[in-house]
Amino acid sequence: MEGKLIKIVKRDDISKSVFFLTPILAIILTLISGGLIFYLLGFKPLEALKFFFIVPINNVYGFSELLLKATPLCLIAIGLSFCFKSNNWNIGAEGQLTFGGIVSGGVALLFYNQEGFYILPLVVLAGAVGGMIYAMIPAILKTHFNTNEILVSLMLVYVSKLLLDYLVVGPWSNPEGFNFPETRQFSNSARMPILFEGLRIHAGIFIALATVIISWFVFYKTYLGFQMKVSGFSLKTAKYAGYKGKTMILLVFMISGACAGLAGVGEITGPIGQLHREISPDYGFTAIIVAFLGRLNPIGIIFASLVVALTYLGAETAQIFMQIPKYTGQVFQGMILFFLLASDYLLFFKIKFLGIKKNEL
């Protein structure tokens, strides 16, 4: 008698092209199963997919909105990739975004009735520093007390959101705003310059692009980038090589926090123009998907942020034109991540069917 046994074996030879093709495969699989879901829900699949992925960006306004939505995702994901590449699991970008928003919003409110060229740079700087300081909390706790950065950074998200709630309801609320939970509007000098009249896309996109370029340089051309890579492969090797792990951990968290803080600045000084309770629809969490979909590669992250931003826009358009429930957008985001992780598994491991004879058992 013969039986079969399944064994999972690690692959040694992973081709680079396949590594970057799997995200595309994941997107294609998502489209196919998305179409299937639409069909089962009673919608015409092709029409639904058209309203989901093409109609939102078939005009200049729609495309500019895509860029507007992708900007914070890209910024945060780039920052996160510094952490993730080096085996540091910063899950609290949403909190760093919120805290950065609070600090920069505070500076903007200081100048609420003033104009001047120096205001915006101060506001932007404040946001970056705010996010950076907030990210240093889990980093220092990790390096000095060996705490788990996943838990600490995640829990700090709720702390920062509660702080924002408190500020906009209490001390920072607009004195002329009938106690509604929002601050005054920022002055024009504290707002990101709009790039084209009639559109909302603002100068924050240049910050995101600059971050992409700088991070590419850091990842592939600097000693820090090399350290991160080695630590990512094996912490023991990094230690053996004599890298000062603590400094690096602190540094990647600071970079990550600053990026998230800048994303917060872009939102409040861009389309929103004030502080209120909903400055981010969980960009900090969605950016985790973006970072992995982009393979922690700066260029990949640009494309990934556009794809994920499109799922938000598509969900709105699909509901407007076809009355498809809006939560399908989140289903799509979930499916992309699922298929990516699934194909990664098959990419890094292979399944071996072993023929075994009875007497071997």
Partner 1 sequence: MLKKIFRYFISSLFFLSVTSLSANAEFKVGFVYVGPTGDHGWTYQHHEGRNAVEAAGMKTTFVESVPEGADSERVIRQLAQSGHDIIFTTSFGYMDPTNKVAKDFPNVKFEHATGYKREHSNVSTYSARFYEGRTLLGHIAGKMTKTNTIGYIASFPIPEVIRGINAMTLAAQKVNPKIKTKIVWVFTWYDPGKESEAAQALIDQGADVIMQHTDSTAPVQVAEKAGVWSFGQASDMQRFAPKSILTSIIDDWAPYYVERSKAAKNGTWKQQDTWHGLKDGMVAMAPYNPAMGSALVKEVEQLQKDLASGKKHSFTGPIYDQKGNLLVAEGKVADDGMLAGMSVYVKGVEGDIPQ
At 196 the three-state DSSP class reads: coil
C-alpha count within 13 angstroms, C-beta hemisphere, residue 119: 21
User: For residues 71 and 96, which CB has a smaller minimum distance to partner 1 in the complex?
Assistant: 71
Q: How far is the CB of 61 from partner 1 (least distance, A)?
A: 6
Q: What angle do CA 170, 189, 104 make, to 5 degrees?
A: 45
Q: What angle do CA 336, 100, 186 make, to 5 degrees?
A: 110
User: For residues 130 and 266, which CB has a smaller minimum distance to partner 1 in the complex?
Assistant: 266
User: Which residues in this chain contact partner 1 in the complex, by CB under 8 A?
Assistant: 58-62, 65, 68, 165, 169-171, 178-181, 196-200, 267, 270-273, 276-281, 312-313, 316-317, 319-321, 323, 325-327
DSSP letters, 7-35, are: EEEE-S---HHHHHHHHHHHHHHHHHHHH
User: For residues 98 and 143, which CB has a smaller minimum distance to partner 1 in the complex?
Assistant: 98
d(CA 108, CA 275): 10
User: For residues 219 and 312, which CB has a smaller minimum distance to partner 1 in the complex?
Assistant: 312
Q: How far is the CB of 200 from partner 1 (least distance, A)?
A: 7
256 in Cβ contact with 80 (< 8 Å): yes
Q: How far is the CB of 210 from partner 1 (least distance, A)?
A: 22
Q: How far is the CB of 8 from partner 1 (least distance, A)?
A: 41
User: For residues 275 and 301, which CB has a smaller minimum distance to partner 1 in the complex?
Assistant: 275
Q: How far is the CB of 336 from partner 1 (least distance, A)?
A: 20
C-alpha count within 13 angstroms, C-beta hemisphere, residue 20: 9
Closest CA to 208 of 74, 68, 98: 74
